[in-house]
Amino acid sequence: MPEVEIPQSVRAFIDQRIGSIFQLEVLLLLHRNPGRDFTAEDVAHELRIEPSWAALCLAQLQAGGLLVAAEGPPLRYHYGPRTADLDDTTNQLARVYSTHRVSITAMIFSKPPDPLKSFADAFRLRKDTLNG
Amino acid sequence: MIYDRLLYFLLGALLAATFIAGMFFLRFAQKTRDRLFALFAAAFWLLSLNWFCILFIHGEEPRYAALYSLRLVAFLLIIVGIVDKNRARPRG
Amino acid sequence: MAETVYILCSLTSILCAVLLWRGYVRSRARLLLWCSICFIGLAVNNVLVFVDLVLLPNVDLLMIRTLVALAGVLALLYGLIWDVQ
């Protein structure tokens, strides 16, 4: 089965730091362009997603130590993992994603929902929840 | 005497536990970038302060009256958080 | 005035408990179970404060009030420590 070929470090990385396909795509976009600063608008344009979702992903990735933020406004981010290990694992993830896209996607979708997200969602009174 | 000691111990435990809960919420606020957690952190810290004050004014009933403002603000912050979460916005 | 505040606090706590319970049923995330229990404890605490000040002014309910709130917050702490991934 394809899942066997995904290294444990990548699995742990996804488990702990990647909550959605959006986050993964944003991370890999910045990882592909290491020297370049991105704003949320830039990311939204490249990936064809809502700028507000792009902004949230960028902020979360930065909080997770994968991106570095430069002074705004508007806030700009570039790829800058806090440790060499994170860099290694992100490189691995980029390689594995290019060859095993379906497996990685399935892994992300089969994660149990983040308890914190469930907590925040519990306070939405209306049913039409737009996921950030 | 022993009753008083037990009471103060429990109040101390309560204010400490509430303070720590606030710290967890602050950490979650940083991790998720969600305002709701920041508001819960502030609310729990205010509740902690509330019980801290009760610890020191216990026995002097008239002073209790001012304490409810701390509790009120704490729960108002939670209400603000819930209202904020339900305003139509694409971001969570 | 104080009475209104404690009633408001009770109602807010109950609202939170209900929303979190509903969230727990939907997501099965155990954190929400503990949070719900905490807010039930806070709701009972606020009701007891109301009872203490208004209905039974000659009785000091501080011990039971504190115990109920403490039980709730300890449940919350348990959830915050163990049930957040």
What subunits touch chain C, counting only 3 or more CB pairs under 8 A?
A, B
How is B18-74 classified by DSSP, letter by letter? HHHHHHHHHHHHHHH--HHHHHHHHHHHHHHHHHHHHHHHTT-GGGHHHHHHHHHHH
> Closest to B86 (Cβ–Cβ): which among A55, A60, A124?
A124
A128 within a domain of the structure (yes/no): no
Task: Note whether residue B42 is domain-resident.
Answer: yes
Q: Is C69 on the interface with B (CB under 8 A)?
A: yes
Q: Is residue A110 part of a domain?
A: yes
**Residue A130: its pLDDT value, please?**
47
Q: Where does the pLDDT of residue B61 fall: very low under 50, low under 70, confident under 90, or very high at 90 and above?
A: low
Three-point CA angle A31, A74, B34, nearest 5°: 80
Q: Is A10 inside a domain boundary?
A: yes
- The answer as to whether B28 is a domain residue is yes
**CATH number of the domain that residue A60 is part of:** 1.10.10.10
Query: Does residue B92 lie in a domain region?
Result: no
Residue B50 lies in a domain: yes
- Alpha-carbon gap, residue C27 to B28, rounded angstroms: 18
Question: Which residue of B28, B34, B37 to mutate against A (max A Cβ within 10 Å)?
Answer: B34
Predicted complex ipTM: 0.93
- Counting the structural domains of chain A, the total is 1
Q: Which residues of A touch C30 (CB under 8 A)?
A: 115
Nearest CA in chain B to C78: B21
Classify A38 as helix, strand or coil: strand
Domain range list for chain C: 2-82
Query: Higher pLDDT residue, B89 or B5?
Result: B5
User: What domain count does chain B have?
Assistant: 1
Chain-chain contact of A115 with C84 (C-beta, under 8 angstroms): yes
Residue A67 lies in a domain: yes
Q: Which of the residues in chain A have pLDDT under 70?
A: 1-4, 127-132
Kindly state whether residue A129 falls inside one of the protein's structural domains: no
pLDDT in tens, A24-38: 999 999 999 998 999
Q: Rounded CA gap, A17 and A15, in Å? A: 6
Q: Is residue A58 part of a domain?
A: yes
Q: Is residue B30 part of a domain?
A: yes
pLDDT in tens, chain C (85 residues): 778 888 999 999 999 999 999 999 988 899 999 999 999 999 999 999 999 888 888 888 999 999 999 999 999 999 999 999 7
What length is written for chain A? 132
User: Is-above-0.90 flag for pTM?
Assistant: no
**A131 occurs within a structural domain:** no
**Domain containing residue B42:** 14-58+82-87
Is B71 inside any structural domain?
A: no
